[in-house]
Structure formats: C-alpha cells, structure tokens
A and B are shown apart, each in its own frame.
Chain A
Amino acid sequence: MPKRNDFKNILIIGAGPIVIGQACEFDYSGAQACKALKQEGYRVILINSNPATIMTDPNMADATYVEPITVEAIEQIIKKENIDALLPTMGGQTALNVAMDLAKAGILEKYKVKMIGARPEVIEKAEDRQMFRDAMDKIGLESPKSAVCRSLADAEQALITVGLPAIIRPSFTLGGLGGGVAHNTEEFTKIVLSGLASSPISEVLVEESVIGWKEMEMEVVRDAKDNCIIVCSIENLDPMGIHTGDSITVAPALTLTDPEYQKMRDAAIAVLREIGVDTGGSNVQFAINPDDGRMVVIEMNPRVSRSSALASKATGFPIAAVAAKLAVGYTLDEIMNDITGSTPASFEPSIDYVVVKIPRFTFEKFPDAEPILGTSMKSIGEAMAIGRSFQEAFQKALRSMEIGFSGLNEPKLEGLEEEKKDKVLYELAYSRPNRVIYVAEAFRLGIDLEEIYRRTKIDRWFLRQIAQIVEKEKLIRKNGIPEKKEELFEYKMAGFSDARLAELSGNSERKIRTLRTKLDIHPVFKRIDTCAAELNANTAYMYSTYEYAPAQNEAEISDRKKVIIFGGGPNRIGQGIEFDYCCCHAAFALKESNVEAIMVNCNPETVSTDYDTSDRLYFEPLTAEDTLEIIRMEAQKGKLLGVIVQLGGQTPLKLSQVLEEENIPILGTSPDSIDLAEDRERFKDFLNRIGALQPESGIAHDREKALKIANQLGYPVLLRPSYVLGGRAMKIVFDDYSLNQYIDEVVKVTGQNPILVDKFLSGADEVDVDVLCDGNDVYIAGVMQQIEEAGIHSGDSSCSLPPFSLPKRIVEKMKNQAKQIAIGLKVRGLMNVQFAVHQGEVYIIEVNPRASRTVPFVAKATGVEVAKIATKIMLGENLKQFNLPNNDNLNYIAVKKVVFPFSRFPGSDTVLGPEMKSTGEVMGIDKDFGLAFAKAQIGTGFELPLDGEVFVTVKNEDKPDILPICRQLFNLGFSICATSGTAKFLQEHGLTKVRRINRVSEGRPNCVDELISGKIKLVLITSDNKSREQTDGYLIRQNALLRNIPHYTTVSSMRAFVSAIESLTQEELKVKPLQEYYQMRKKA
C-alpha cells in the first residue's frame, strides 16, 4: 500500500524524563520514528520534556517542543502546528496515557487529528484488565483466574476464587507500579490499597498466581494488511513473579519445542488481531506451566516497549522504524530490511547466537527500601551480551554490568559451611537482585540441582548451564591456567573473562592476557544479520565470540581513518542517557568529518547501539579485555586515529590506564590531565598556582584524625570515602556524634581507605560551568546556577541557564577561572567546573575535564552542539572554525528539574543530599525564570496548585527566609498551615492567618492526617539536619510522596516555586519549539 497522504503533519509524543520502567529505549524508538517519517516526507513535530534525548536534537524533527507532556501543551501544539496525525506508540506509557486523555477530552476530534499506530479503543482494550480478559476469552486463550476490583471489599471477595498467593495489578500504571504479590491476607490488604491508590482509575486486577511458571514474550509486528511477523521470542530466566524488566532474559526462547513455540506464536498474533492493533509493534507476555505446558496470556503492550528495544538489538530488526512506516500506511513487504539491504521487512529474523540481558539495580542508594524483586520494576538499567553459546553470552553479560563481577563471582558469605548453605538457600528462595550469583554458590556448596530448582523455578536447562560454569571454575582452581592452547580456548569459549580466570587461578589479569596473546587466542567477530547467514548482509553490527577453528572472522575492517568511541554501558543513577547522547554526537561528528565512527557499547536501550548511529557497531562489554580485542582488530588496517573515552561517563574513563599502558592513542584531553583533576594533592597545587580557592579540607586515615580535622575546619563538614566516585556514601555532618555515626555505619576508615573531610559551605550557591577548549581558546558553553543550595548533589538539583540570581561580577569571575583551568589543564574537548559561591567568594568544588551530565541540557538550552564540536576539536579542529555565538545574552531561560524513583522504593526518604538519587531530567524553557521553572516542574509530573492550603514546617535557621515566601503565598491567594514553631514565628511576624496544626507527637488530628485527608495541596518542609530524630519530617515526606503532593525540601526551591506561581497567575503557559528559540537568538 502506498503511504497515506490524508495527513501531513505528524505529532510524535516522547516519553518524558527517564524513570524506572521507561528509560532511553524510548529515545531510541522516538528517534527512529522521527527519522523514518521525515524520510517519507512528512512534517514531523515532536514533544518531549527530556532534553537529554537524541530525538529532541533540533534536526530530528521539523519542530521540536521541549515542553511538559500534558493535554494542555499538546492541544496548543496541535493548534499551532496544524497537526493532523498523532503517533502515540513511541513514547511508552506516558505517550499512550496522554494520548488517551486527549481522545477522552475530545481534543483529537475537535481538531480532526487521526491517531495512527493505535486507536484509543485499541489502547483501552489492551490496557483495561477486564476488557483484555474478555477479549482473550473470546478467542479461546486462557488467562489466569482473576477479577477486576475497585475497592478492598471487591478484592476480598475475589480472593475467595483466586486464592493465595495472589497477584495485584493496578490498571494503567507504569511498570506495574503499586502492584505486587500477596502471600498472606495482611500483605493482600496492603498491596490492594496501594494498587488502588496508584491506579489513575482506582482499579486493580486480583489474579491467580502463576508465580514460578515459565515467562515468555513475543515481539509481534502487524501491518495494515494484517500481515503479522514475530521479530523475536524472549525467555525470562527468572520465572513469573519477577517483573520482566527485573529478570535476566534470553533471546530466543531456548526451552520450547516447535509445536509449543508455534502455539505461542499463533496466540500472540491472535491477540494483536483481537485487540485490533492495526499497525506497529506489540509485546505479548505468556506464562507456561513447566509441568504440563499449560499456556496463559498475561498481558500485551500495544506499543513499542523496552522488550521491543531489546528484540531490535538482539536481532537487528529495527522495530520502531518499521512501526513508524507501518503507521503511515506501508505494509511490511514494502519496507526494506536495512541489514540485508535486499530483502523486505516481511520475514521473521532468525538468529545464530544467544542473547542475554541482565538488569542492573541500585538498591544501595535507597537503604531504607527492601531489596526484594516482584511485579513492580526496580532496576535502573541493563546490559546485554551476545555469544555463540549461552555460557559465553551469560558471562559476557555479567561482566558488562560493571558491578564488580568478572563472571559468576562468589558472594561474600561468612561462617561455617552449614551456615553458608542456609544463607544461600534463603537467598535462593527470595528473589533479590543478582540471585544467579547465589545459584552458582549453591552449586559450589554441593546443593542439589533439584533443590535449587524447587526454590528458584529457574528452568533446569539454565541451572545446568550455570552448574557447568561452576564445574569449569573448579578445574581452574585445582589445575591452574592450562598451558595448552586448546584447553585455555575451551574456557574462553565458555565466556570466562581474563579477569575471572586470573581470580580463579591466582594470577594477574595482565598475565592471563600475555599468555593468551602468546598462544594466539583471540575472539573473532561475527555479524548480526537477521537471517543466520542465509542471505548476504553488509551491515557492520558485530559481536565477539571465541569460535572453534577454523573460524571465520567477519569484522571486515576498512582501510579508512577511524576512531573508536567507548560508550557508557548500562544505565545507572548518575550515568545514563546524557552520556549516551554525547557518544552519539561523537559518532555524528566523526561521520561529518569523514572519519569512520566505531561504537562500542553494551546497553540495548540506547541510541548509540542503533546500527545506523555509527559506521560500525560492536555490541560488547566495556572491559579492558573486550575493548583491547576490538582495538587489536581495528588497528590491523586503515588508520586508527585514536579512541574516545571522555564522553561515556566513568565507564570508558576507567579504561584510560590500561589503554595508555598499551600505547593506544586517546583523543582529547590527556588522561594525565584527567588524573590531575581527580588527584587531591596535584589538583590542590594546580589551583594554588592559578589562584583559585577551594573549600578547606583534610584527609583522615582514622577516626581521631577525622574528628580533629572536622573540629579544625568547623562543622558542618562533608565526608566521603576517597575511593568512591559519583557521590556514593557522601554525607554532610553537623557534629561529632554524626561523624562518629558515619564512621560506624557508612564507611570504615582504614589506612588504605581514608576519608576526605571538606569544609561544607552552608547556604552557598552552586554553579556548573561547561566549557569547550581546544588547548588555546575557551568557549563558555553554559553557566548553570543550581536552584537548590550547596549540599545537594548537582545531578539532583534543579538549575537555571543562564543564572537567575547571581551578580554579573561573580559570573564573570567564574567564567574567567573556568577558562584558566581549561587552558591550564590543556583541555581538548569538554570540561565541567562546579563552583560554590559563598559570601561573595567563588570556590572550586570539582573539575571534570570530560563530558558531564549537563552537556545535553546545555546543548538544548543554547542550540550549540557542544558534544559534536568537542569531538571535532579532538580530531584537531580549532574553536575559531566554529564561529560560536556568545551565550551571555540569551533572551530566554531554561530550567532543568529532575525526577526521583522514590515511589519505586517504598520506605525510602525523599530528602536530598550529596548522594545522587534522581533517574532523569526535564527542561522547561520560556521567556522568564518563573515560567520556565513552572514548565520544568509540571514536566516532572506534578500539578502546580494555584490555590488551596500550603503546609509549612521548617527548621529554625530557615524561618527568616521562609517569611517572605509565605507572605507572597498569602498574596497569591493561598492559605497556610504550619506546625507550632513555624506557625508561631510566622504569626509573630504578621502572618496572623496561619493555622497551627499538630506535629505527629502532639496528638490527632496531626499534619499527616491532614495530608491523608487531602486538604493540603503543597508542602514546604526543611528538616533540621542536626537532629537525629526525624520522625515527623520522614512521615510527612513519605505521605506527600505516596499521594503525589508536591513538596519542596529546600528554601531556594520554595522561592523558585513561588516565582513560578507568580508568573502563572499573570499569564498562561505557552508552547514554542526549540527552533524558534534558536531563531530568536540569531536575530538578537
């Protein structure tokens, strides 16, 4: 069918900020969709509040709206851009939900906008539990026994037929949020209530437990002619009961016979037909009883999903790009399979390798939350690996995770054999992160396979594979590293890393590498070609494998000039999409400079691992071993100009040392300069030389010294271990007691592991300055003033570009210092400096001569493609060549705000500190600070109340600051209630109308009761850090969080909030595309 021409202007809705369950896979899908539709000659309009995305690059769409994803904003865009078609299936649940709201509000009808990809009734049928179940009944597919409930009473009735354990699934929530598995009636009540609260329509499904059944997924694509294909099957190693996003998954399914597979295939296609997904990709989940093969349908997603991103990367079939073309009327046979370049997309990929994905968790950042996995997703990122056997792929995936695993490393267990066994058996029965480590340990301890199966319900096939790895480990421990080539080769084929072999044999990794090189043991590279070699394919999408000789190497390296970019690996808090953005831009820049761009990464969610982002893609772990093998290969022909390690965050940076040892040219700023910035002493000297200030500090190798330094500097002080990066275990303490507590509970101080004690600059303003430098000239790319005061990790703080309240003199001083530092460090590329402005003086907190998290925000706010330019500088170009605009006179302001995953970690406190906890960011852009802040705030998913009661409770030193804020709130028409101390202070200072309410300890009804009863629309709360008793504050924050009531925990953010409300009362929010802002700049 030819493409449709009954519409011209297509709106694509993005997924908004990165949250758990919705990560950069939707940047990947959205970017693919933009590209595909633009190619087809449509006018593409995009809305996404997330500036760290490739899809919001101004050349991806014809008009790019970085605006909050709300019905109001989209209606304005529809009107302004004359939208006639809406594609809601690329932006995850966020896009689907807002599209449904638009449909329900009659807006689509009003402006005659066609929904393409999935119609509203289809979305509803797929997402509404009861309608979905009815549909499955109709086509004769079994579902677990279940009942839809709208109250606790309903649910208790349902439990009689369903029985315990029961699964509670709230309707219309993301990644199963608010749901769970109930094993007893008490748990049941608790989860039903939380599920009802999470569901936007107060509805939960109470369902028969199929926990322990095999969990399978099918990725289906359907076109307007009802042609259906299965792109990939996915088998969850972790059985039903653990969210698929938190499960280790394997592609393709490995434990089904053909009739069973085909039955599931038929069912998956029948589901799409019955639900009515006209065009595009969907994911259908099944549970299969391992004892008799009974198959039930669990659910379907009528859109591209995390699984479809995984399936795309696992097979080379670009589901999102194809789905976008199908949405505008093409059929599968009319679309080319890019990978083969000669056959149509209407086929089912066949693969000749095994793919393993392992989720990565971050429970250590939320110590109050229990690290237990269930039906609500908790993982922050994932790594995928490819091999020619399960063992190879599995062990590659384990080391790709970067959580200290070099393979199936032993868990740290103490005690006697029997105690260890008990502990391991316990761990097997409870699904915690990285349970496979305990499975391996169980085999080491001689626990029977059937016992392990009984507890984990991990298919025996996978258990045997793990047992085989453990068997091989035993041999290595016993006999050491074999000297014979064939024997060592066997271990490499089973996926053993050099590092793991070194650990097992008591050698150094380097020694293993030397031995391996001596014996000429190297991997070959095979291609992902969608067809298991049956057709010719020329796309350079590769993975390594130790292949049986004679083996064919398919790397087919070129004789071009080339650069290798090392990516960021699995997403984690502190290192996510922002760095992938930088790596993608490096690839774009290399292509523009006619240098072959070679990408290495192992994160399947990203744009960087899209086969057409770079010229050549290696889907490989980012370890020394794996990257050196790629370099070894690529260096054999052409000219390897060097490697880029400064754009992917800490992951590639950690490779610098070994790369230097191997004499691999590293492009950009020298690793020595990077080291200088990270080495305390060297950095101190350097700053002294250029006359820049640092907060006073000391280093303590024991408790006494720490106390002494703290008292010399004067409290508060910032404590951190010297060996940890990224804000882990950082804490601000206010007295000896808390310092002692820190040493007792958080970080053991030893001679080898000293702690750093920094004077903490209370109430300072923090500022980030990003610069580009070519060694001679410096360009100030962005100055960002943080809205939260010092002490909150810059990754968690809101910020404003340009600064909203700093004197020009201070800004100039920081710019000058940043320039001096960049020149002094001989930076070639990007550098980020963090300043603190304290009592009119400028202090340097940190210098990172590499890409930082702020790069995409700066690029989106200013329209200057800083990451691309940085790459070109690394290639030898000068700043002068780029003719960059001065960023001093922007006639608009951009505000960044972040989102937190607290609601995923019940029990965790929402108070912010020096340890980063946010998962994603949004940008608000408008003509003044208030409006930009309001947009950013709305973009994070909170509604901004324009009236109602504000609850204020602040610590003593904040009281004077809060007074003008409260006055303004009164003026704006809010009423205020406060706890005794705050109320008294406000009343004494003229705000007599403040209503006093009880603290928790003061009797009922108390402030928490008032929060629960819904009277309070907004909470302003700061907590006394000196006090160890924070019950009230904790309870207030928890309840505000649970009820989605906006709450501010710093005075500066409160101030920003009030100015936002002020702006909002004066005028309505209006949307404007980035392209127009940049145009305005040019004119200005």
Chain B
Amino acid sequence: MKSTEEAKISAALILKDGEVFVAKGFGAQKIITGEIVFNTGMTGYQEVLTDPSYVGQIITFSFPHIGNVGINDQDNQDKKINASGLIVRNLPTNASNWRAAQDLNVWLEKNNVTGIACIDTRWLVKKIRKTHGGLYGLIAYDENGLDIQALKKKAAEIEIMEGQDLAAQVTANKNQELGNNPSLKVAVIDYGIKQGIIDNLVNVGCQIKVFPANVPVSEIKKFAPDGIFLSNGPGDPEATGKYSVPFIKEALKEGWPIFGICLGHQMLALALGAKTIKMKIGHRGENHPIKDLKTSKVYISSQNHGFCVDADSLPDDVQITHVSLFDGTIEGLKSNKYPAFSVQYHPEASPGPHDCRIHFLEFVELMKNAKKK
C-alpha cells in the first residue's frame, strides 16, 4: 500500500447508533442490514450458517478461527445459507479436513452471502449481550470502497424487527417425505426446520412428511399421522403463533402426540395457554447446561433462542420438565392433559453435544403409548 494514497475502506460493520468497525470482507460483495446475533460454539459454523432459525440474521462467531475445516456436502441444515451474513475475528483460512469440498469464502461467494473479518468480535458479543431488544446494524463489503457516511445513514434507518413472523420466510422449503414406517407417521410442521431434526426423526424410525407452517388441520388429517412435530424456526413466537396456535390447539384436541423443539416449543406453550417473553440475555451456544427436573440429571445442550416461555404464565396443567442452569428459564415443558411435550434447546444438536437425543425416542414412546390406548 502506498502511504500517500488514502486507504479506502472496503468492508465495515456499522451499528444503528453510528459506531463504525472497519473490517476486511470475504464472500459476496454487498450491504446487509439486520439484527446482529452471536454464537459461542467452537465447531459447527456450517450448520449454524445454514440453520433456518438464523434467517435474516448476521451472525458473530465468538471463536476467532472460522473456516478451518471448510464446507462439506453432509453437514448442511438446509438447502441454502440462511444467515444473511457473518462477522469473524480472523479472515477464513483454506480448508483442512478430509471431508472438505470447498473453502468457506468460496461457498459464501457462490451463495451470495457476505462475511467480514478483522473485528474485535469479543467486544461485539458483549455489546450484543448488553443491548436489550437486540443489536441492529449493517455489514458492507465492496472492493471498490465504501461510502461510510451514506452507510451510517442507512444503518440509522434500520427498522427494529419486532413481532415478525420470519417462519413464513423459511417454511417448507424442504417438502420432504422420508422414512418408511406406516406405524410411526409424523407430520412435521416446518417453521424453519433443521436437517438434523429430520435426520434424528428418521433415525428413530419415524416416517415423516414435512408440512408448511400454516397448514390446516384438515390437510394433516389426510396424512393420518401418529404424531405431530413442531419444528424450530426464527422470529417472534407471538407473530408466528397467530396462525400456528389455533392449529396446535386443534391438534391437541385431536389427541395427536406432539413434540416441539425451540420455536415449536414456544408454539406449544402458547397453545397450552402460556405466554412467551423476550429474554434479557438470549442463549446462543453449544455449552448450555439444562437440568431434567425429574431425574436431576444435567445435560449439555445446544441453544439458540432470544425468547422464552414465561414461567409465571403457565397454566396449572402444564409442567416444567427442564430448566436452564444458567438463568433458571424454562427449557422443557409437558402437558398433563395432552400427550404433548417440548424442549427449548436443540436435542438434534447439529451443531452441539448429543446429550439430549433421547427426546426423539421419548416422542416415539409417546406415539406408541397413544396408539395402545
């Protein structure tokens, strides 16, 4: 670089409040606005980036080296990258892993996703954690240089997305029918389901069909399921609940066994009469301890949620089964009236520890027991 020439800025993070972090870009050259979230996992960036729960979000990875193992053909959680961008400490390196099919930055570029690097991501994580209501901003990457003033203006105008039904954006893009077990048919309600969940359901012997989030009960009846699965997904549970809660209420009355994960857990809770609230500090990592209140055993879980079920709002016939050992918030629920249970964390992992996979088997048991009756 010549010292006389004013160094142009080709990439930056600009927060809504006008704070500028000069960066270096990789992947697609464009401007992305949105909520900035974080993930503290040390492995699994490919799964995180493809997870539909992150749709529209810019993900800050707290682990400083992202991209080491490249991108492979097996670990995607969806057909596309759902996160809209990523922020990392160090520029991604070339891949080194026997399964790697391509480098991270090549994959991002092909999929039109932007990344920026060379930022104090640890500080950013703290900022996100401390910003009530979410941190908003934009990331921009253009090798020809950025107009910082214009971008600042743009950042200031970012609308805070509360009460958004993001599930509608990502639902049923899989449209899958998998497995062959007519005695264990599961109707999967897709609010933005991860491939890992589908794989786990199939692995425990379910035959599944994926339905869009706004599917009517009549449609489900035609499938004649043995159980309903409510998937994970993005956005404000109240917003998605507008059409989903009536559906679930009907499903409960039908007596179908129901299992929900993450957003699905929140949907079930709403349908059972509870309320959801935005958390002061969301859960964003692969290392969260949860306690099974029945056995007092502790499991390490993968988590990604900014809302939770309000414990004060629980009706009497709904029982807390799991709690977070970090902040005591509800991590699992069970209805005493209906064959329905749900967990706030991700038993399918992908990425994260496999400690809680047992819930898929519990779901199978629930369906089998319901059949006996």
Contact of A484 (CB < 8 Å), options: B1, B41, B74, B350 = B1
Assess the A535–B126 pair: CB atoms within 8 A.
no
Contact with B along A511-540 (1 / 0, CB 8 A): 000000000000000100001111100000
Contact of B42 (CB < 8 Å), options: A252, A548, A549 = A252
Assess the A256–B40 pair: CB atoms within 8 A.
no
CB distance from A675 to the nearest CB of B (A): 43
User: 8 Å CB contacts to B: which residues of A304-349?
Assistant: 331-333, 343-344, 346-349
Assess the A262–B98 pair: CB atoms within 8 A.
no
Q: Given A354-B64, A459-B96, verify A550-B286 contact (CB < 8 Å).
A: no
B residues within 8 A CB of A265? 353-354
Assess the B287–A347 pair: CB atoms within 8 A.
yes
- The answer, yes or no, to whether B56 is at the interface (CB within 8 Å) is no
- The answer, yes or no, to whether A957 is at the interface (CB within 8 Å) is no
Contact of B352 (CB < 8 Å), options: A258, A388, A532, A534 = A258
Assess the B40–A255 pair: CB atoms within 8 A.
no
Assess the A343–B326 pair: CB atoms within 8 A.
yes
Contact of B287 (CB < 8 Å), options: A255, A348, A547 = A348
Q: Given A256-B69, A258-B47, A551-B120, verify A350-B40 contact (CB < 8 Å).
A: yes
Assess the B69–A255 pair: CB atoms within 8 A.
yes
Assess the B289–A258 pair: CB atoms within 8 A.
no
- The answer, yes or no, to whether A389 is at the interface (CB within 8 Å) is yes
A residues within 8 A CB of B121? 352
Assess the B43–A256 pair: CB atoms within 8 A.
yes
Give the complex CA separation of A552 and B121 in angstroms. Answer: 10
CB distance from B244 to the nearest CB of A (A): 29
Give the complex CA separation of A331 and B122 in angstroms. Answer: 31
Q: Given A353-B64, A486-B7, A532-B62, verify A226-B42 contact (CB < 8 Å).
A: no
B residues within 8 A CB of A351? 42, 63
Smallest CB gap from A552: residue in B? B123
Contact with A along B101-134 (1 / 0, CB 8 A): 0000000000000000011111101100100000
- The answer, yes or no, to whether B214 is at the interface (CB within 8 Å) is no
- The answer, yes or no, to whether A464 is at the interface (CB within 8 Å) is yes
Contact with B along A438-465 (1 / 0, CB 8 A): 0000000000000000000001110011
Smallest CB gap from A462: residue in B? B96
Give the complex CA separation of A358 and B138 in angstroms. Answer: 41
- The answer, yes or no, to whether B338 is at the interface (CB within 8 Å) is no
- The answer, yes or no, to whether B93 is at the interface (CB within 8 Å) is yes
- The answer, yes or no, to whether A225 is at the interface (CB within 8 Å) is yes
Contact of B297 (CB < 8 Å), options: A226, A533, A534 = A226
- The answer, yes or no, to whether A266 is at the interface (CB within 8 Å) is yes
Give the complex CA separation of A483 and B23 in angstroms. Answer: 21
Number of A-B contacts (CB under 8 A): 174
Assess the B43–A258 pair: CB atoms within 8 A.
yes
Contact with A along B272-309 (1 / 0, CB 8 A): 00000000010011111101000011111000000000
CB distance from B68 to the nearest CB of A (A): 5
- The answer, yes or no, to whether B29 is at the interface (CB within 8 Å) is no
Q: Pick from A49-57, A289-297, A924-932 the stretch touching chain B.
A: A289-297
User: 8 Å CB contacts to B: which residues of A384-399?
Assistant: 388-390
Assess the A533–B126 pair: CB atoms within 8 A.
yes
B residues within 8 A CB of A531? 40, 285, 287
A residues within 8 A CB of B63? 350-352, 532
Give the complex CA separation of A126 and B364 in angstroms. Answer: 36
Give the complex CA separation of A443 and B89 in angstroms. Answer: 26
A residues within 8 A CB of B325? 333, 343-344, 346-347
Smallest CB gap from A332: residue in B? B298
- The answer, yes or no, to whether B233 is at the interface (CB within 8 Å) is no
Smallest CB gap from A257: residue in B? B69
Give the complex CA separation of A229 and B300 in angstroms. Answer: 7
Assess the B7–A255 pair: CB atoms within 8 A.
no
A residues within 8 A CB of B336? none
Contact with A along B66-105 (1 / 0, CB 8 A): 0011001011000000000000011001101111000000
Contact with A along B7-46 (1 / 0, CB 8 A): 1000000000001011100000000000000101111101
Which residues of B line the A interface, CB within 8 A?
1, 3, 7, 19, 21-23, 38, 40-44, 46-47, 62-65, 68-69, 72, 74-75, 89-90, 93-94, 96-99, 118-123, 125-126, 129, 281, 284-289, 291, 296-300, 325-326, 349-354
Question: Can you list 29 A-B contacts (CB < 8 A)?
Answer: A227-B299, A230-B353, A256-B97, A257-B99, A258-B47, A260-B97, A262-B43, A262-B349, A262-B354, A265-B353, A291-B98, A331-B296, A332-B289, A346-B325, A347-B288, A350-B40, A352-B64, A464-B93, A484-B1, A531-B285, A531-B287, A532-B40, A533-B125, A533-B129, A548-B118, A548-B119, A550-B21, A550-B123, A551-B123
